[in-house]
Structure 1
Amino acid sequence: MASNPTPQRVIRVDDETWSAYGQLCEEKGVARSADLRMYIKREVAEWRKKQTLDRRLKHLGEQPGDDIL
C-alpha cells in the first residue's frame, strides 16, 4: 500500500476498452491508475496555464491607453 494513498474514484469504461487499455499500460510498464493520474495531471497543468494566460491577457486589455495600439 502506498504511504500516501489517493482517494479511489469510480469511472465507467466498457470492458473491451478497459482490457485493451490494460494491455497498453502493461506494454508501457505502468499501472492503469498511474497512467490515468499522469494524463489527468498533464491535462490540468495545460488548463491552468491557459487560465493564467487568459487572466493576463484580460488584465492587459484593461490597462489604460490600450486604444493607442
Structure 2
Amino acid sequence: MMRTGWFRAVHVRPESVQTLRALRVGRTALLGKLLDMVNAIRDSLGTFGLKVGDVSAGRLEAIKLCAC
C-alpha cells in the first residue's frame, strides 16, 4: 500500500482526549433533550392558556420540595 501511495499518516488523539470529547458530546445531547422536554411541556400548557415564567434551578428544587 505504501508503494502505490494509498497510505497516508494520520494523527491519533490520546485516549484521554477522546474520553473527554465523548463526555462533552453526551452532556450536550442530554442538555438538548432537557431543553426539548421543557419546551414541549411549556407548549402543552400554553394550549390550555397557562404560561410558565422563567424557572431557575434553585426555584425548581424549591418546587420539588414543596410538592412532596
* Structure 1 unmatched runs, 5+: 1-26
Aligned equivalent of 2:29: 46
The Cα RMSD (Å) is 1.9
1-side partners of 2:11 and 2:29: how far apart? 23
Q: TM-score, normalised by structure 2?
A: 0.52
- Larger relative CO (CA 8 A, sep 6+): 1 or 2? 1
**3, 17, 22: which is aligned to 1:34?**
17
Moved over 6 A (4+): none
Larger Rg: 2
* Structure 2 unmatched runs, 5+: 1-9, 50-68
